[in-house]
Amino acid sequence: MPEINAFQKIKSLKENLGKVIRGKPGIIDLAITALLSRGHLLIEDVPGVGKTTLAHGLAKSINCSFQRIQFTSDLLPSDVIGVTVYNQALHSFEFREGPLFANIVLADEINRATPKTQSALLEAMNDRQVSVEKTTYRLPRPFMLLATQNPLEFSGTFPLPESQLDRFTMCIKMGYPDESHEREIITRSASASSSIEALSPALTTDDVERLQALVDKVKVDEDLVGYIMAIAKATRNHRSIRLGVSPRATMTLYKAAQARALVSGRDYCIPDDIKALSVPVFAHRIITAEHGAFDGTEASTAVMDEIVSGIAVPI
Amino acid sequence: MNLNAYTLIVTYLMAGLGLAAISLVESIGAAFTLAMAGAAAFTLALNLKGRRIIPGAIWNPLAAVVFAFFIADYLAFSGSLIVAAGRFLTILLVLKLFDLARNRDFVIAYGIVFFQILSAAASTVSPIFLIILSLFIIGAIWAMILFNMKRDYQEAHPAEKGFPRVAFGGPFFAYVVGASAFSIVVTFIIFFIMPRMEFGFFQRKTLNTVKVSGFSDRVDLGTIGPVKEDPTIIMRVGINPIDKPDGLIYFRGMALDSYDGKGWSKTLKDEIVIRRNDGGVFNLTRLEGRAIEQSILLEPLDTDVLFAAGNPVSIEGPFQNIWFDRSGTIRLPSPPYSRIQYKARSILSPVRKDLSMPLLQYSDTSFLNEGPEGARIKALAESVTDGALGAREIAQAIEAHLKSSYSYTLNPNASAGLSPLDDFLFGSRQGYCEHYATAMAALLRAKGIPSRIVTGFLNGEWNGLGSYYIVRQQDAHSWVEAFIEHDGWVRFDPTPSAGVVSYSPSPVSLYMDLLRWRWNRYIIQFSFSDQRQIAMRFEGVGAGVFENLRNALLEKKTGGAASKFSPVAVVVVIVVGLIVWRLFTRKKTPSRTPRFYAEMLRTLKRRGLSRKPAETPLEFAERTGITEVKDITTALHIERYGGRRLTEAERGSVDAAMGRLKRSA
């Protein structure tokens, strides 16, 4: 049993984020789950629903550095990672870190950048390091990339390659706030930016790293591993899915389920952890038979729902 | 549809089956059945609308009235217990359908249907009954399941008046059909294995007996004629196809020795009781020759005579003892009144004959001497047999004369004032088998040759599909037996071939009759000896398999070809091998579900709540909305997925929650 402290810390993190993201406890839980599973988050939604606020609030709450990169079609990899410049005083080349060197990075409208720039993120996301000219630079810990993409704008966008998508732990939708929360948001809007600024840290980066270590210790019953495999297998054999999920995806679901258990105040997984995460973790990774390059994840979400509702839960 | 509607529909299905079964009982009346079906349909409309037209209290007195009617029906009108009981049960069922209020009423309705099926079983031989019975078994299972669900629901929700809407999918009905099919198969296995009682309770006096003529101690002339157009089936005689004679086959019934001018009677009192030997066989005579075996299914007749072809030598059947006389008549102690099955061995042309001396009555010529007719008959006999040498030639001459010189008709124009015999010989010169046979017997006796009249059945309709004769009332016949020296009693039939009923059956009717014959033979009359035979056949097969196997193995060892290796043995070895392999390789995966959770699922299932396979325990708990279920689910999480044993306190609270859950159910 992890110290009660851990659950309290997660609780206070949730409360802290709840101050800036109103009426979206599910989204907050998923974001924390992604953070604790050492994952990255892809937020797919229309502009103005609070994607940036979520990323910024998360950074503020864990008292860490935050960078925002606005992706555009002329953005170069060096603009993200950093460049090597010649230091005339020292007569040597030195590396100047790009905006990627932060604990929480918000890649806004990631699909506007060229595949070349998008790919520059692969190593960072997977290994939490970047390599420039034979030198590998370690990114700060914890490191989490939040990317947003607008599913409705097609012109001037480059769809994320599958390898990139596979590295995002989950893809979530913010969704519109309900009426009462929207009213509250409007009336508070004058002080909205200041409320983010006023957010006090709930955790330290050390706390986050300790919680991430605790996630690894969350117990997962072997039958639940079987459950994960059954879902993965179903995506690979489903007739309306062209590309099923990769082993990386099943590993990710396993880890995310552990994190969700901890976020829910348990030190063991239950089937609901897997079932609830199977759609956000798997849906963006599968390619449905009628999939168009610019389609959102709606079709694959529907297929995933259908798959999960047909797989027996081990009890 | 709600639970009540399902229960109603299945109840009406059952009632329909009961009515259908009762309608199979002969002489219950189609009008009666239709009227009752109409009344039942009317009650269905009432019940579906939930309307009452008559208060419930009235039905019990009404049932008493119907019972009184039943007694009256039995004693005064139908006279048949089965028919009266069938009507009684049917009216009772319709009354009950008017009064389907409490759960008890449904049970009573099912009980009545059961008795309807039972009474139909006792009296019908229609193969359709088998279908009705199968449907009844399936329907009864549906009815019981639905009834129990309904009652449990009512007990769980005493305050509610209505019923929940439920949808029974195909699987529910399909599983029941599957289970029923299985149980029917098991029933059939038991049917063929359970030892048979020789006399069933329902076997006695259950069928309307067929009135037959010509098989009593006295037969007046003119009694067989009227039945010569009656197609009622008297018996079916199965014989081995290779034993089928090329010509006509005579089924002997009764032999009569004395003629008194009006009819024949049996005056000889030489009957002896024959008891069955250890093998269950009644041995009659010691004739020798090639015997043909007949399997005879005799309809219920009002005579105690048993029929058999040619000269019967032994009888095997469900009788305690039988009576047999020197003239070859076989009789039961009393008429059987029910359909009986027996086997008879007969010799059509004996090699060693029965040459016992004829008794006086056979050559009694007294009736010839009365009046001038006697002299005319004697004169006729002399003129017909002029030049014939020996008894056989005389008999053949008389037979030929009668065949050719008299016309066959079933409606002879009797001349007034003459005795039947004189009218036939000298008056109208027309008649049917009885007249021909009587005339021949008289002419033989005029020549001093002992003769007697035999009544029985001639040939009937051959059903090649099942290798049996269908013998009808209209096949009734009488012929003559004359005692020929060195040959014993020899059959002569002076009736011309016009007297033989000819059949041109359609294949369909033959096939239908074959079904009836098989149904009677293998279901209704299935006996202990049949079981013994089946067992012996299986024993033979089994022994054959092992013999083959042993031979094959021995041959293998000595290097011989295994060509004689029986395919049956190969299959047996493979099947046994597969079973053994399955037994040893099957991995056992015990359920890891904690017992308390499984128990909770069972408890909830009884209340109509069941977890879908793809539903997580938590989702299920949320769906039920029951606090106890949520508590138990939390405990399940800890023990099943958390891998930690529950503490005493947790265990206690689970038990408490379970207790509350059960009490509320």
Q: Reduce the DSSP state of residue B648 to 3 states and report it.
A: helix
User: Are residues A61 and A220 in contact, defined by beta-carbon separation less than 8 angstroms?
Assistant: no
- Closest approach of chain B CAs to the CA of A236, in angstroms? 19
For the cut 70, the answer to whether the pLDDT of residue B64 exceeds it is: yes
- Tokens 């399997």 map to which residue? B295
User: Are residues A294 and A217 in contact, defined by beta-carbon separation less than 8 angstroms?
Assistant: no
Which of A63-77, B11-25, B46-60, B273-287 is least confident? B46-60
Measure the CA–CA gap between B291 and B348, rounded to whole angstroms: 7
A62 and chain B: CB distance < 8 Å anywhere? no
User: Are residues A119 and A164 in contact, defined by beta-carbon separation less than 8 angstroms?
Assistant: yes
A313, B593: Cβ pair inside 8 Å?
A: no
CB-CB neighbors (< 8 A) of B597 in chain A: 315
- Closest approach of chain B CAs to the CA of A308, in angstroms? 7
With cut-offs at 50, 70 and 90, classify the pLDDT of residue B203.
very low
Window 215-244 of A: residues touching B by CB (8 A cutoff) are 219, 221, 223-224
- Tokens 């308390």 map to which residue? B596
The pLDDT, as a whole number, for residue A197 is 75
Closest Cβ opposite residue A221 in set B617, B618, B643? B643
Sequence ranges of the domains in chain B: 3-194, 543-585, 595-664
User: Are residues B395 and B490 in contact, defined by beta-carbon separation less than 8 angstroms?
Assistant: yes
**In chain A, which stretches have pLDDT less than 50?**
1, 293-294
Asked whether the CA dihedral A42, A48, A50, A56 is positive or negative, the reply is positive
Radius of gyration of chain B (CA): 36
DSSP A219: B
CB-CB neighbors (< 8 A) of A314 in chain B: 592
CB-CB neighbors (< 8 A) of B593 in chain A: 315
For the cut 60, the answer to whether the pLDDT of residue B359 exceeds it is: no
Nearest-by-CA chain A residue for B593: A315
CB-CB neighbors (< 8 A) of A268 in chain B: 637-638, 641-643
Closest Cβ opposite residue B618 in set A267, A272, A309? A272
Can you tell me the mean pLDDT for B559-578? 61
User: Are residues A290 and A275 in contact, defined by beta-carbon separation less than 8 angstroms?
Assistant: no
Closest Cβ opposite residue B617 in set A308, A311, A315? A315
For the cut 90, the answer to whether the pLDDT of residue B662 exceeds it is: no
- Label residue B567 exposed, middle or buried (CB < 10 Å: 0-12, 13-18, 19+): exposed
B641, A268: Cβ pair inside 8 Å?
A: yes
**Sheet containing B263-265: which strands, arranged edge to edge?**
B218-220, B263-265, B258-259
Q: Is the peptide bond before A142 cis (omega within 30 degrees of 0)?
A: yes
Can you tell me the mean pLDDT for B109-113? 90
The pLDDT, as a whole number, for residue A260 is 93
Single-letter amino acid, residue A111 = N
First CA to last CA distance, chain B = 23
Strands, E assignment, B276-347? 281-283, 291-298, 305-306, 308-309, 311-316, 321-324, 330-331, 340-347
Both tokens of A230, joined, read 């059954």
User: Are residues B545 and B570 in contact, defined by beta-carbon separation less than 8 angstroms?
Assistant: no
The pLDDT, as a whole number, for residue B551 is 63
B641, A311: Cβ pair inside 8 Å?
A: no
pLDDT tens for each residue of B414-463: 766 777 888 888 888 888 888 899 999 988 888 888 888 999 999 888 88
DSSP B324: E
The pLDDT, as a whole number, for residue B584 is 65
With cut-offs at 50, 70 and 90, classify the pLDDT of residue B549.
low
The pLDDT, as a whole number, for residue B494 is 92
Cα angle B532, B534, B539; round to 5:
95
User: ipTM of the predicted structure?
Assistant: 0.87
- Cα→Cα distances B366→A186, B170, B344, B445, B487, Å: 136, 83, 36, 10, 26
- Closest approach of chain B CAs to the CA of A81, in angstroms? 43
- Closest approach of chain B CAs to the CA of A222, in angstroms? 9
Q: Reduce the DSSP state of residue B395 to 3 states and report it.
A: helix
Q: Reduce the DSSP state of residue A166 to 3 states and report it.
A: coil
- Closest approach of chain B CAs to the CA of A166, in angstroms? 26
B640, A221: Cβ pair inside 8 Å?
A: yes
Which domains does chain A show, CATH number per domain?
Answer: 7-217 (3.40.50.300), 218-315 (1.10.8.80)
CB-CB neighbors (< 8 A) of A272 in chain B: 616, 618-619
Measure the CA–CA gap between B110 and B91, rounded to whole angstroms: 14
Q: List the one residue out of B87, B17, B12 whose CA is nearest residue B46.
A: B12
For the cut 50, the answer to whether the pLDDT of residue B204 exceeds it is: no
- Closest approach of chain B CAs to the CA of A144, in angstroms? 29
Q: List the one residue out of B590, B615, B588 whose CA is nearest residue B601.
A: B615
With cut-offs at 50, 70 and 90, classify the pLDDT of residue B564.
very low
User: Are residues A262 and A10 in contact, defined by beta-carbon separation less than 8 angstroms?
Assistant: yes
A162 and chain B: CB distance < 8 Å anywhere? no
- Closest approach of chain B CAs to the CA of A279, in angstroms? 15
Which of A221-230, B109-118, B193-202, B245-254 is least confident? B193-202
Which of A127-131, B5-9, B34-38, B540-544 is least confident? B540-544
Window 260-299 of A: residues touching B by CB (8 A cutoff) are 266-272, 275
Pairing of strands A41-44, A144-149: parallel
Looking at per-residue pLDDT, the higher value among B16 and B225 belongs to B16
**Sheet containing B461-463: which strands, arranged edge to edge?**
B281-283, B311-316, B340-347, B291-298, B233-239, B468-472, B461-463
With cut-offs at 50, 70 and 90, classify the pLDDT of residue B526.
low
The pLDDT, as a whole number, for residue B198 is 47
A311, B636: Cβ pair inside 8 Å?
A: no
B369 and chain A: CB distance < 8 Å anywhere? no
With cut-offs at 50, 70 and 90, classify the pLDDT of residue B74.
confident
Cα B126–chain centre separation: 8
- Label residue B98 exposed, middle or buried (CB < 10 Å: 0-12, 13-18, 19+): buried
DSSP B386: T
Measure the CA–CA gap between B367 and B262, rounded to whole angstroms: 10
User: Can you give the pTM of this predicted structure?
Assistant: 0.45
The pLDDT, as a whole number, for residue A154 is 67
The pLDDT, as a whole number, for residue B585 is 64
First CA to last CA distance, chain A = 23
Q: What is the largest CA-CA distance in chain A?
A: 68
Q: For residue A185, how many C-alpha atoms fall within 13 Å in the half-sphere facing its CB? A: 17
Pairing of strands B233-239, B291-298: antiparallel
pLDDT tens for each residue of B477-489: 999 998 888 888 8
The residue among A228, A270, A275, A278 with the most chain B CBs within 10 A of its CB, best to mutate, is A270
- Closest approach of chain A CAs to the CA of B174, in angstroms? 22
For the cut 50, the answer to whether the pLDDT of residue B200 exceeds it is: no
Closest Cβ opposite residue B614 in set A266, A270, A312? A312
- Closest approach of chain B CAs to the CA of A221, in angstroms? 6
With cut-offs at 50, 70 and 90, classify the pLDDT of residue B150.
confident
CB-CB neighbors (< 8 A) of A305 in chain B: none
With cut-offs at 50, 70 and 90, classify the pLDDT of residue B202.
very low
Which of B10-19, B289-298, B347-356, B474-483 is least confident? B347-356
pLDDT tens for each residue of B601-611: 888 888 888 88
CB-CB neighbors (< 8 A) of A219 in chain B: 641-643
Measure the CA–CA gap between A75 and B521, rounded to whole angstroms: 95
DSSP B289: S
CB-CB neighbors (< 8 A) of B615 in chain A: 313
Q: Which residues of A69-98 are buried (b: 16+ CB within 10 A; e: fewer)?
A: bebeeebebebbbbeeeeeeeeeeeebebb
- Cα→Cα distances B382→A38, B374, B415, B443, Å: 132, 12, 25, 9
What percent of chain A is helix, strand and coil (3-state, nearest 5)?
50, 15, 35
User: Are residues B116 and B140 in contact, defined by beta-carbon separation less than 8 angstroms?
Assistant: no
Measure the CA–CA gap between B179 and B182, rounded to whole angstroms: 5
Window 620-659 of B: residues touching A by CB (8 A cutoff) are 636-638, 640-643
- Cα→Cα distances B414→B228, B411, B424, B428, B432, Å: 18, 9, 8, 6, 12
Name the percent of chain B lying above pLDDT 90: 8
